[in-house]
Amino acid sequence: MQALMDSSTLAAYVKDLLDEIQSSLLGRATSFRDSNIVDVSSYDELKEAIAQGKWARGPCCALVMFVLICNL
Protein backbone atom coordinates (compact mmCIF):
# COMPACT_ATOMS: atom_id res chain seq x y z
CA MET A 1 0.00 0.00 0.00
CA GLN A 2 1.38 3.37 -1.01
CA ALA A 3 0.76 6.40 1.16
CA LEU A 4 -0.11 9.50 -0.79
CA MET A 5 0.73 13.02 0.24
CA ASP A 6 -0.65 16.19 -1.26
CA SER A 7 1.89 18.48 -2.88
CA SER A 8 1.81 21.18 -0.18
CA THR A 9 2.38 18.60 2.57
CA LEU A 10 5.21 17.00 0.58
CA ALA A 11 6.82 20.38 -0.09
CA ALA A 12 6.69 21.29 3.61
CA TYR A 13 8.11 17.88 4.59
CA VAL A 14 11.00 18.17 2.10
CA LYS A 15 11.74 21.75 3.18
CA ASP A 16 11.84 20.73 6.86
CA LEU A 17 14.05 17.75 6.07
CA LEU A 18 16.47 19.85 4.06
CA ASP A 19 16.56 22.49 6.83
CA GLU A 20 17.39 19.75 9.36
CA ILE A 21 20.15 18.35 7.13
CA GLN A 22 21.62 21.82 6.56
CA SER A 23 21.56 22.58 10.28
CA SER A 24 23.31 19.30 11.07
CA LEU A 25 25.99 19.85 8.42
CA LEU A 26 26.61 23.40 9.64
CA GLY A 27 26.93 22.20 13.24
CA ARG A 28 29.42 19.50 12.28
CA ALA A 29 31.45 21.87 10.10
CA THR A 30 31.54 24.58 12.77
CA SER A 31 32.62 22.09 15.42
CA PHE A 32 35.35 20.72 13.15
CA ARG A 33 36.58 24.22 12.31
CA ASP A 34 36.62 25.36 15.92
CA SER A 35 38.48 22.26 17.12
CA ASN A 36 41.17 22.65 14.44
CA ILE A 37 42.07 26.33 14.86
CA VAL A 38 45.10 27.15 16.97
CA ASP A 39 45.95 30.71 18.02
CA VAL A 40 49.63 31.44 17.42
CA SER A 41 51.82 34.39 18.26
CA SER A 42 55.20 33.26 16.95
CA TYR A 43 56.69 31.60 13.93
CA ASP A 44 57.58 28.50 16.01
CA GLU A 45 53.97 28.18 17.19
CA LEU A 46 52.85 28.53 13.58
CA LYS A 47 55.16 25.74 12.44
CA GLU A 48 53.97 23.50 15.28
CA ALA A 49 50.31 24.10 14.46
CA ILE A 50 50.92 23.26 10.80
CA ALA A 51 52.91 20.15 11.76
CA GLN A 52 49.89 18.98 13.78
CA GLY A 53 47.61 19.50 10.78
CA LYS A 54 45.84 22.42 12.45
CA TRP A 55 44.87 25.81 11.08
CA ALA A 56 46.78 28.71 12.58
CA ARG A 57 45.26 32.06 13.52
CA GLY A 58 47.50 34.94 14.43
CA PRO A 59 48.90 38.28 13.38
CA CYS A 60 49.14 38.60 9.63
CA CYS A 61 52.23 39.59 7.71
CA ALA A 62 53.70 38.63 4.34
CA LEU A 63 55.89 35.86 5.84
CA VAL A 64 52.97 34.22 7.64
CA MET A 65 50.84 34.32 4.50
CA PHE A 66 53.70 32.81 2.47
CA VAL A 67 54.14 29.97 4.96
CA LEU A 68 50.41 29.23 5.06
CA ILE A 69 50.05 29.27 1.30
CA CYS A 70 53.12 27.10 0.75
CA ASN A 71 52.20 24.81 3.67
CA LEU A 72 55.75 24.93 5.04
Give the pLDDT score at 17.
97
For residues 66 and 70, what is the distance between their CA atoms, to the nearest angstrom? 6
As a dihedral over the C-alpha atoms of residue 18, residue 22, residue 23, residue 26, rounded to 10 degrees, the angle is: 180
Nearest to 37 by CA among 47, 23, 50, 24: 50
Residue 69: pLDDT band (50, 70, 90) is low
CB 31 within 8 A of CB 25: no
3-state secondary structure of 6: coil
Judge if pTM exceeds 0.85.
no
Residue ranges of domains in the chain? 1-35, 38-72
